[in-house]
């Protein structure tokens, strides 16, 4: 005992230092292994799931849990897939894309260094290609830019990855880009491919066709497609969400065909039944409600309140917020609130300079 005590002045202290150093090295090694083996996360409508994405298809992904059991998750239930070893810039870019900030997503995904993808698995490389193509496509649409290059990127992704869990989303984006390029027949073919998927995608297919008809100012035809979408037999949550969007589309058609009271009643019903957390839906609903009030011709104050609700409460979607600001600028001018109109127009131009709404409002 005395010998140990005698050596403690130097040897034991040194030994403790060595042990601490070893522990630190083990800790670093463990963190490195844990990072390399970080699980994938699948964010679904019912909450997050963790495991390993072992396969993907247009209709579902296969997620293997820690016990080696595989679960199939339908694409209509998936909000986002996060890969455990993905670069931070990829995760940030995808988040921006989901939040409607496509132009920012383009810049963020460009920050990924080639070294970060050395040895990456095919599914992760595919995800990088998806974010690049989807961000380029949605940024082109949001800015009203020439869709040719973005359309090529989206088309190449679809040709290269027909089994991607992003397949249907990209088909719809391709349809949007083709329509913007003045090719409605080709756009219709792209939208029709959605109808081959699950029920929720059938609703999306009909709604996408309706949206194209609406942009062509074929309002009765668009309303018929929206009604067809609403009537599709499907009771799952994803389909219900798509049907609410179709109802908003129908309300827009009603307002354009002089049935403003019906449009207002329909939107107010959607707002009343919506979950407070459905902020994107509520933002779109208040914009549609404001549009219906404006179309009535004598309800400018009600329209102002609707668009202000988007501006102050449901401003998370860049396109939706830009739409609200553009309408506010016009309405404030109409009611002789020149300074408030100027402020709304300035915020629109500074926050969303590439938006078609900003371009439309620039001469106001």
What's the pLDDT score for residue 2? 36
- Give the containing element (helix H, strand E) for 44: strand 40-44
User: What is the Cα–Cα distance from 156 to 324, expressed in whole angstroms?
Assistant: 35
> CA–CA separation, 151 vs 220, rounded Å?
29
Per-residue confidence band for 12, with pLDDT thresholds at 50, 70 and 90: very low
pLDDT at 48 over 50: yes
CB atoms near residue 51 (< 10 Å):
21
Mean pLDDT, range 53-65, rounded to an integer: 96
Q: What is the CA radius of gyration of the chain?
A: 26
Give dist(CA 269, CA 188) in Å, integer: 31
Per-residue pLDDT, 57: 96
Residue 77: DSSP 8-state: G
Cα separation, 81 vs 50, in Å, equals 10
pLDDT-based confidence at residue 37 (cuts at 50, 70, 90): low
Instruction: Look up the CATH architecture of domain 280-364.
Output: Alpha Horseshoe (1.25)
Q: Are 341 and 333 in contact (CB under 8 A)?
A: yes
Domain ranges of the chain: 12-82, 113-194, 198-257, 280-364
Tens digit of each residue's pLDDT (9 = 90 or more) over 291-320: 999 999 899 999 999 999 999 999 999 999
Question: How far apart, in whole angstroms, are the C-alpha atoms of residue 49 and residue 63?
Answer: 9
What's the confidence (pLDDT) of residue 144?
85
CB burial of residue 305 (10 Å; 0-12, 13-18, 19+): middle
Q: In the CATH scheme, what is the code of domain 12-82?
A: 2.30.30.100
Q: Give the tens place of pLDDT for each residue, 161-178.
A: 999 999 999 999 999 999
Interacting residues of 282 by C-beta distance below 8 A, sequence separation 6+: 271, 274, 276, 313, 314
pLDDT of 153 > 80? The answer is: yes
Q: pLDDT tens digits, residue range 208-255? A: 999 999 999 999 999 999 999 999 988 788 888 889 999 999 999 999
Whether the predicted pLDDT of 16 surpasses 80:
no
CA distance 127 to 25: 33
Burial 179-218 (b: 16+ CB within 10 A, else e): bbbebbebbbebbebbeebbbbbbbbbbbbbbbbbbeeee
CA 143 – CA 354 distance, rounded (Å): 5
Mean pLDDT of 314-343: 96
Cβ 264 vs Cβ 293: under 8 Å: yes
- Average pLDDT across the chain, whole number: 89
């Amino acid at each position: 005992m005395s010998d140990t005590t005698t050596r403690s002045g130097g040897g034991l202290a040194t030994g403790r230092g060595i042990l601490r150093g070893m522990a630190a090295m083990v800790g670093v090694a463990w963190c490195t292994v844990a990072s390399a083996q970080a699980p994938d996360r699948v964010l679904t409508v019912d909450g997050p799931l963790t495991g390993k994405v072992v396969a993907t298809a247009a209709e579902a992904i296969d997620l293997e849990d820690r016990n080696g059991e595989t679960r199939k998750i339908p694409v209509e239930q998936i909000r986002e897939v996060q890969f455990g070893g993905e670069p931070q810039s990829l995760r940030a870019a995808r988040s921006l894309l989901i939040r409607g900030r496509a132009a920012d997503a383009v810049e963020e995904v460009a920050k990924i260094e080639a070294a970060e993808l050395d040895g990456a698995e095919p599914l992760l490389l595919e995800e990088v290609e998806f974010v690049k193509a989807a961000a380029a496509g949605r940024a082109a649409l949001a800015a009203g830019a020439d869709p040719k290059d973005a359309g090529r990127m989206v088309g190449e992704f679809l040709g290269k990855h027909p089994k991607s869990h992003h397949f249907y989303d990209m088909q719809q984006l391709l349809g949007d880009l083709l329509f913007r390029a003045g090719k409605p027949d080709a756009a219709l073919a792209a939208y029709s491919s959605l109808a081959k998927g699950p029920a929720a995608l059938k609703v999306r297919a009909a709604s996408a066709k309706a949206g194209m008809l609406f942009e062509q100012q074929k309002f009765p035809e668009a309303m018929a497609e929206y009604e067809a979408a609403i009537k599709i037999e499907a009771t799952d949550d994803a389909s219900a969400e798509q049907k609410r969007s179709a109802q908003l589309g129908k309300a827009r058609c009603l307002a354009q065909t002089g049935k403003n009271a019906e449009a207002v009643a329909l939107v107010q019903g959607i707002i009343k039944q919506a979950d407070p957390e459905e902020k994107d839906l509520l933002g779109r609903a208040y914009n549609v409600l404001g549009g219906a009030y404006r179309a009535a011709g004598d309800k400018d104050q009600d329209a102002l309140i609707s668009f202000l609700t988007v501006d102050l409460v449901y401003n998370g979607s860049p396109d939706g917020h830009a739409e609200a600001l553009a309408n506010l600028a016009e309405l404030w001018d109409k009611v002789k609130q020149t300074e408030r109109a100027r402020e709304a127009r300035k915020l629109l131009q500074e926050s969303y300079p590439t938006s078609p709404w900003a371009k439309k409002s620039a001469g106001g």
